[in-house]
Amino acid sequence: RLNDGFVVYANRSTILLDIINRRAKSGDAKAMGMLADLTVARNPKAAHYLAELVDSGNPRAMGTVASVFSRQAAGFELQGKKEDAATSRKDAAEWYQKAAFAGDVESMVVVGFEYASGEDGFSRIPSEAIEWMSKAAAANNTMAMNRMAKWYQAGMQGLPKDDATAMRFYRKSAEADDAEAMYELGKMYEQGKRGSAPDVGQAVSWYQKAARNDNGGAREHATEALGRLGYEVPPDRKSVV
């Protein structure tokens, strides 16, 4: 089983590096991330393995290459090398788009965020932001579902304010065990969104589900909401919260 310690030792061991490469070739995203870490650390063999994966048309490998350029840009920024940082950001943007077009869902999310903000080598194009985030949401990426929900809630990126659609996105994400979506659903029921009266029972139900989840931030917010409404944290979480 791969763990973070592999990266440290693989930088000095070709055997471990070959194990990581075999896992990456089998589609293991964590292994690809390790190849990226080693590439950033200037391990030539890891860079070669990552390039081979890209040449084979692996979409996640393309996204991993994009993350390498993105991290390089951050490093150049810290060193005050603005021109180098700008070049790396441009390279990252190109690779994220290649990966997204090739079907890498994580890259679709990144591209959606970047088109929404107009940063890191992207122009701000709301229609592109919506298109890519929608594709990622359709592929059941919970981060994308939550972002689409927020955009509909606030009427952002040129979308109409639509609480009903926002709730549908949150519900689908919550059903995929996303604690943030559970908490946001609880808030919407508590506040009576969708033009309907508040439903405290539904709010409490979703808050309790979020409070039982391991997502620290959402768990804490849900616990606070339950306390405000006079309810306790579900028994199986009391020892953790």
- Return d(Cα 34, Cα 17) in angstroms, integer: 9
Both tokens of residue 23?
């896992």
Longest dimension (CA), the chain: 63
Tell me the whole-structure pTM to 2 decimals. 0.84
The pLDDT, as a whole number, for residue 239 is 38
d(CA 227, CA 220): 11
Question: What stretches in the chain show pLDDT beneath 50?
Answer: 237-241
Interval 109-140: pLDDT, tens? 999 999 999 998 899 999 999 999 999 999 99
Q: Residue 240 has what pLDDT?
A: 38
Confidence at residue 15, expressed as pLDDT on a 0 to 100 scale: 79
CA distances from 86 to 59, 63, 82 (A): 24, 19, 6
> Residue 160: left if φ>0, alpha if ψ -120 to 50, beta else—which one?
beta
pLDDT one-digit tens code per residue, 75-88: 999 999 999 999 99
